[in-house]
Amino acid sequence: MNRESRNNRILFEEMPPLKALSTMAIPMVISQLIILIYNMADTFFLGKTNNPYMVAGASLILPVFNVSIAFANIAGTGGGTLIARLLGKERTEDARRVAAFSFWFSILAGLVFSLATLFLMHPLLTALGASTETFSYARQYVTCVIVIGAVPTILSMTLGNLLRNTGNAAQAGFGVSMGGMLNMLLDPLFMFVLLPRGKEILGAGMATALSNVVVCIYFLYTVHHLRNPVLNFTPKDALPEREEIASFFAVGVPAAIGPFLFDLDYVVIDRLMSSYSDIALAAMGIVLKAERLPLNIGIGLCLGMVPLAAYNYSSGNLKRMEEFLKLTRRIGTLVCIVSIALYEFFAPMLMRLMIGEEQTIALGSRFLRIRALATIVMFLSFSYVHFFQAVGQGKYAFFLAVMRWGMVNIPMLFLLNALFGMYGIVWSQLVSDIIVASVSWITYRHFRKRQII
């Protein structure tokens, strides 16, 4: 057994749960916080133009970007969690084939998505609700971020997941963090120095695309330098057994369904908000990013928990597996409570950081204070979905994803909008997530009884 394998075994099997979770989660939490800042950077710098139509144009592209995340989740989550479970059973060769399959799947998916966006751009942006004022801005942004950037974006996300699930959380977290920091540095350079006035959104898109290319190169270099026997992407090894491919998609597709339906949820919010005004759309676009602080921390915790739960579930140590889930829920809930208090006090200040237009600030502050109340129940819902992905229970993850958005969130948006107007859209998140968190807990209890933990 080489040194890296021995260190991973100590981490997964012997280290105290809190220390092991901290080792895996802290780099992921840091990277998720930088992702949050990086995702807000474009909005922040675009807000400095005091052009709400430009902000709204960038906000419209968020659902399209989430489709990239969906493809990355098929390969990264489906392949990554399967690799962790295979390592728990000491099936290293099978894990290597799954890693190669994940790598080449990401490249193919990125190419297909990039070309589809290029040829269907006009009907796509129209369907997303682009108006006469926002269409050209949205087109410039999507050309850079998706048409040019889809392959490196999807591949870098997949590689980060594969590194994390083989015990290399620090390298995975650093790569993501580096991309976010680079994007924040390049944004003002492209937007306000290299490109002329009025082309700021093009500069933001170029900065994002270039940052993702650099991250992708870093991950490829890291994989080569680590010489981990699992992370060997030789094309001839990229065909796992039929059972492993089925498990890959059984977890990966539900993991993709979540962002896809999340994407659809954002489309509905954008379309409903745009029916009131472009100012309301711009305010909600900022809020949908600003509200993610506690959720990104929670996602970082969950990402740190996933390999640990997957490995111990596969190796039969169900007690240790459950300890990781409990720790994740407790820490995440505490973070959410603190965050709600901060949002209630500092919402106007946060909005003012994003844009200087007073009507957008006032409207966004009210939106943010309301939507922040859903933070705790939203995190609990996400934690159960991540857990089911970790233990290979794709049917549970699929049920919770479809139930969350298809059966609760989206219908609730239409219902509360019809009953209460614009603010019904804002309150729908809290109402929906109370229902979703309750069903998620019941589903977990059912799984727990079956496992006789």
Q: How far apart are CA 328 and CA 384, in angstroms?
A: 10
Per-residue pLDDT of the chain (453 residues; tens, 9 = 90+): 455 555 566 777 778 888 888 888 888 788 777 777 766 666 677 777 777 778 777 777 777 887 888 888 888 888 888 888 888 777 888 888 888 888 999 999 999 999 998 998 888 888 877 777 778 888 888 888 899 989 999 999 899 888 888 878 788 888 888 888 888 888 889 888 888 887 888 888 898 889 999 999 999 999 888 877 778 887 776 677 777 788 888 778 877 777 667 767 777 887 888 788 878 877 887 888 778 888 888 888 888 888 888 888 888 888 888 888 899 999 999 999 998 998 888 888 888 877 777 778 888 888 899 988 999 998 998 889 888 888 888 788 888 878 887 788 889 999 999 999 889 988 998 999 999 999 999 998 888 777 654
Closest-CA residue to 337 (of 293, 290, 294, 303): 294
* Residue 7 within any structural domain of the chain: no
Sequence-distant (≥ 6) Cβ neighbours of residue 329 within 8 angstroms? 380, 383
Q: What is the pLDDT of residue 390?
A: 84
Closest-CA residue to 165 (of 355, 44, 318, 311): 311
Q: Which domain holds residue 71?
A: 15-451
Secondary structure (DSSP) of 282-347: HHHHHHHHHTTHHHHHHHHHHHHHHHHHHHHHHHT-HHHHHHHHHHHHHHHHHHHHHHHHHHHHHH
* Residue 369 within any structural domain of the chain: yes
Q: What's the pTM?
A: 0.75
Q: How far apart are CA 77 and CA 134, in angstroms?
A: 34
DSSP annotation of 241 reads -
Up-side HSE of residue 196: CA atoms within 13 Å toward CB?
A: 0
Cβ atoms of 354 and 40 within 8 Å: the answer is yes
* Residue 3 within any structural domain of the chain: no
- The CA-atom distances, in angstroms, between 9 and each of 18, 167, 172, 302 are 16, 9, 19, 20
* Residue 321 within any structural domain of the chain: yes
Sequence-distant (≥ 6) Cβ neighbours of residue 201 within 8 angstroms? 46, 54, 57, 58, 137, 140, 141
* Residue 340 within any structural domain of the chain: yes
CA dihedral angle for residue 5, residue 7, residue 9, residue 13, rounded to 10 degrees: -170
* Residue 333 within any structural domain of the chain: yes
Q: How far apart are CA 265 and CA 211, in angstroms?
A: 27
Secondary structure (DSSP) of 100-139: HHHHHHHHHHHHHHHHHHHHTHHHHHHHTT--TTTHHHHH
The token pair at 161 is 């997941």
Report how many domains make up the chain: 1
* Residue 346 within any structural domain of the chain: yes
Residue whose tokens read 């009210």? 366
Q: How far apart are CA 425 and CA 319, in angstroms?
A: 41
Cβ atoms of 98 and 86 within 8 Å: the answer is yes
* Residue 447 within any structural domain of the chain: yes
Q: What is the pLDDT of residue 453?
A: 45
Q: How far apart are CA 81 and CA 94, in angstroms?
A: 13
Question: How far is residue 451 CA from its own chain's centroid?
Answer: 29
- Please give the single-letter amino acid code of residue 424: G
